[in-house]
Amino acid sequence: MRITSVRTRQWLLLSDFHFKHQDLDRVRQTGRWIVAEAERNHVSRVVICGDLLISRTMQPTHVFSACYRFIGHLSDVAEFESFGPAADGDVEGDYQRSEG
């Protein structure tokens, strides 16, 4: 009888990873490492708890762009979930899901 292994789902839990103008190069480098590790470990689901931006008020365009690129690369690797206040600040809508 041949036994086939069943691969367990690999999850990535991420929190307190903030995109901000100060030290953005280091944050981008860390983001690339996170995506590479998710690919290397065949992560099937990514959960982000909390905010990715340091503040909801004015952010420079390049900070938003870097954050969206990071989310895009993660969603290319696996399904993506985020838990936190919705973009409009409505606490009742604090579960958002995007499948990639």
pLDDT digits 0-9 by tens, 42-78: 998 888 888 888 777 788 999 999 999 999 999 898 8
* DSSP string covering 12-71: EEEE---B-STTHHHHHHHHHHHHHHHHHTTEEEEEEES-SBS-SS---HHHHHHHHHHH
In angstroms, the CA 74 to CA 59 distance is 21
Residue 90 has pLDDT above 60, yes or no: no
CB count within 10 Å of CB 3 equals: 5
Q: What mean pLDDT do residues 3-15 have?
A: 75
In angstroms, the CA 2 to CA 64 distance is 51
Determine the pLDDT at residue 32. Answer: 96
Q: What mean pLDDT do residues 22-33 have?
A: 94
Strands 79-83 and 10-15: unpaired
Residue 92 has pLDDT above 70, yes or no: no
HSE (CB half, 13 Å, CA atoms) of 78?
A: 23
Contact in structure between 65 and 73 (CB atoms under 8 Å) = no
